């Protein structure tokens, strides 16, 4: 009988978080100082509670002395195309006493952007022995999957979106049934909840679930709610909300649904950017929440403080990040407890 594997919920104990430091070869080239300030703030918040693994290019001058806890930061020399660690980092599942780092193919969100270096990051990290002796790499490079496209309740349920996972430019428009079988075999999924509606203008990911709806615990989903009937997102997000009400937990109960405010519209060169409060990161003892210099920042913070009563909710200005159409969760990938090497 095959040993059951499980993709932990993000709230499970962690060793650390992976980030990729912005450099001149990325799309951040014209705003490096601005975006690096944001990354410094994220890394500072992470290392208050756990470790940070920061990928740097050869030419990078990473300001490790700038941090309060430099001893909690592990820099790794590793070429990168960009900084979206959520989508090219390893996805760890637990099987008995060992951790398995699933190495899926990353193709630049459906061949939109270069990904030749980013697609190699997980294998390179294993080659550099960054992870613990109980962690092994499993090759899934025949299947395109980004970490931001899936949510786990830690009990066998995967939450995802139809638009992203069935995209023709990812896996040739595989059927839901085929994808569910993949998730069963690799992630240990017992069931998949498919969100068929919802989007954010300016989002390059084809509606990653981590921009729209998030598990906060096995029974609770926080989601983006749009109340402005004149907003272009209103109809699709209303349909998403209705579908979330129809979903049931593994025990057959309705989910505790927590609406997050629709972020105030942010524009760059006349184009709306995908600002969202759903793109928060859960770490040990804290939740890092993207802020956008809006009065709604405090509203979203108060809502999540009520959900995560055992964690401190920390707001971080992420206006710089959404200028490249992502946010806080997108640039981070958590590492479950037991996955980092003893000396990392």
Residue 133 has pLDDT above 90, yes or no: no
How distant, in Å, are the alpha carbons of 77, 145, 147, 248, 322 from that of 168? 34, 13, 18, 29, 25
Q: Are 315 and 297 in contact (CB under 8 A)?
A: yes
Q: Across residues 132-139, what is the average pLDDT?
A: 92
For residue 99, pLDDT over 50 is answered with: yes
With cut-offs at 50, 70 and 90, classify the pLDDT of residue 206.
Answer: very high
Main-chain phi, psi angles of 126, to 5 degrees? -70, -40
Average pLDDT over residues 277-285: 98
Predicted confidence at residue 132, as pLDDT, reads 86
CATH class of this structure's domain 5-336: alpha beta
| Rounded percentage of the chain residues whose pLDDT exceeds 90 | 94
Residue pLDDT, tens place only, 192-201: 999 999 999 9
> Does the pLDDT value for residue 270 go beyond 90?
yes
- Output the average pLDDT for the chain: 95
Residue 13 contacts residue 285 (beta carbons within 8 Å) = no
Cα–Cα dist 33/26, whole Å: 13
Q: What is the pLDDT of residue 2?
A: 58
Q: What pLDDT, on a 0 to 100 scale, did the predictor assign at position 1?
A: 44
**Whole-number pLDDT of residue 120:** 97
pLDDT digits (tens, 9 = 90+) for 6-49: 999 999 999 999 999 999 999 999 999 999 999 999 999 999 99
The pTM assigned to this predicted structure is: 0.97
The pair of three-digit structure tokens given for residue 106, joined into one six-digit string: 């990353």
pLDDT of residue 155: 97
Give the pLDDT of residue 309: 98
**By C-alpha distance, which of 243, 280, 231 is closest to 260?**
280
| Residue whose entry in the numeric block shows the structure tokens 């997102």 | 233
C-beta of residue 62 within 8 angstroms of C-beta of residue 56 = yes
Residue 290 near residue 277 (C-beta atoms within 8 A): yes
């Amino acid at each position: 009988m095959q040993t059951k594997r499980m993709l932990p919920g993000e709230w499970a104990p962690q060793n650390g978080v992976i980030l990729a430091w912005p450099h001149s070869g990325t799309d951040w080239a014209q705003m490096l100082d601005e975006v690096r300030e944001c990354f410094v703030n994220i890394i500072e918040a992470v290392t208050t509670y756990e470790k940070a693994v920061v990928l740097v290019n050869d030419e990078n001058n990473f300001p490790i002395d700038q941090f309060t806890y430099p001893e909690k930061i592990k820099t790794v020399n590793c070429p990168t195309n960009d900084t979206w660690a959520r989508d090219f980092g390893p996805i760890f599942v637990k099987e008995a006493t060992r951790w398995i780092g699933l190495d899926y193919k990353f193709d630049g969100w459906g061949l939109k952007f270069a990904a030749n270096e980013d697609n190699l990051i997980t294998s390179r990290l294993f080659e550099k022995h960054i992870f613990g002796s109980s962690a092994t790499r499993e090759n899934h490079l025949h299947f395109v999957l980004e970490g931001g496209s899936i949510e786990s309740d830690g009990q066998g349920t995967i939450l995802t979106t139809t638009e992203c996972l069935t995209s023709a430019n990812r896996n040739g428009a595989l059927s839901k049934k085929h994808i569910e079988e993949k998730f069963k075999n690799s992630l240990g999924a017992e069931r998949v909840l498919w969100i068929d509606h919802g989007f954010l203008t300016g989002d390059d990911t084809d509606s990653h679930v981590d921009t729209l709806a998030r598990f906060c615990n096995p029974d609770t989903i926080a989601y983006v709610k749009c109340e402005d009937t004149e907003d272009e997102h209103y109809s699709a997000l209303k349909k998403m909300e209705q579908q979330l009400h129809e979903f049931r937990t593994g025990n057959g109960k309705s989910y505790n649904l927590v609406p997050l405010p629709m972020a105030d519209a942010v524009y760059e060169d006349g184009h709306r950017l995908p600002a969202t409060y759903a793109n928060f990161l859960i770490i040990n003892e804290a939740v890092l929440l993207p802020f956008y210099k809006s009065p709604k920042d405090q509203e979203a913070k108060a809502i999540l403080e009520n959900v995560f009563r055992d964690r401190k909710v920390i707001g971080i200005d992420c206006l710089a990040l959404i200028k490249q159409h992502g946010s806080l969760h997108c640039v981070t990938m958590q590492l479950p407890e037991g996955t980092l090497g003893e000396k990392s």
